[in-house]
Amino acid sequence: MIEKRREKWRWAVWLGMLILILVALVLWQRTPKFEEVIVEDESPEAVKILFIGNSLTFLEHVPAQFVDIARAQNADQKLVVKQVAYPDYTLRDHWNRKRAVKAIEAEDWDYVVLQGHSKEPIKQPKVLRQYVKLFDEEIQEAHAKTVLYTTWTDFDRQDLHDQILKVFDGLSKNTNITLAPVGESMYLCLKKYPDINLLKEDKHHATENGAYLVAATLYITIFKKPITTSPKRMPYSGLVPSQETQGVFEKLDEIALEACKIHQNFK
């Protein structure tokens, strides 16, 4: 009898450990990783994209959603996608830490997506310009293209939208920098589809839908073509789209295309 109880306890312990391991794996998959290779296809045809930013990049897995969108358009699309993104980082922080610069130098990137701190266009536009310029020079030296991810204002400060847009337009004028009009996408969606929840309770960070809109805008900016098929499976970001989600994605695809047309990224 005692031996049987011991055996049951042993099985219970092993089962408990297995459950803990499985839970840890799931959490590991869903937890943002500040430096991460999202996908790395070994092909000379792979489009190589590096994301540099902060929580507006890594929360809700924007680069991974980007890959899910790209794969939905073309299952055979070869990609290398990596992110270097740390909480609350400015481009100056990235420059001083050097890890982002080393990442640029480590691979023959086609595109480097730069996302600075959302408060910089309002509070430190000169500093933002300085470090966008430094990064752009580094990116050009690496024979890649700079894509500047334009941030948004908190939704209770829409009066700042035009001011932020002016700063980013100035950064791209007379340069080879391409603007990814993410802030414009957020602004248009708020006006046209106010029922779609784009931001978390802090009114600043994107929800899964908001991050999808970011990724869709970046996809159209980089590939210069509309999204014709919203992803039904999203293995890279770990999201599970429902039938209702599909309808939301289609609206977000439409908004992203409209924003890119306004900023002449797609004609």
Q: Is residue 213 scored above 60 in pLDDT?
A: yes
Q: pLDDT tens-digit profile of 8-21? A: 666 665 666 666 55
Q: What percent of the chain has pLDDT over 70?
A: 86
Burial of 200 (0-12, 13-18, 19+ CB in 10 A): middle
Task: Tell me the domain boundaries of the chain.
Answer: 32-262
Orientation of helix 99-106 relative to helix 125-141, angle to 10°: 30
Tell which wins on pLDDT, 13 or 55: 55
The average pLDDT across 25-47 equals 75
Using 50, 70 and 90 to split pLDDT, how confident is the model at 27? very low
Q: How far apart are the first and last CA of the chain?
A: 78
Taking alpha carbons only, the member of 227, 127, 94, 121 closest to residue 179 is 121
**Is the confidence at residue 256, as pLDDT, over 80?**
yes
- pLDDT for res 267: 52
- State which H helix or E strand residue 81 sits in: strand 79-85
Query: By mean pLDDT, which of 71-85, 101-115, 152-166, 172-186 is the weakest?
Result: 152-166
Per CATH, the homologous superfamily of domain 32-262 is SGNH hydrolase (3.40.50.1110)
Q: In this model, does residue 194 exceed pLDDT 90?
A: yes
Contacts of 222 (CB under 8 A, 6+ apart): 47, 49, 111, 147, 180
Give CA–CA dist 267/261, Å, rounded: 6
pLDDT exceeds 90 at position 5: no
pLDDT at 13: 58
What is the token pair recorded at 128? 């933002």
Q: Which of 87, 88, 86, 128 is nearest to 103 (CA)?
A: 86
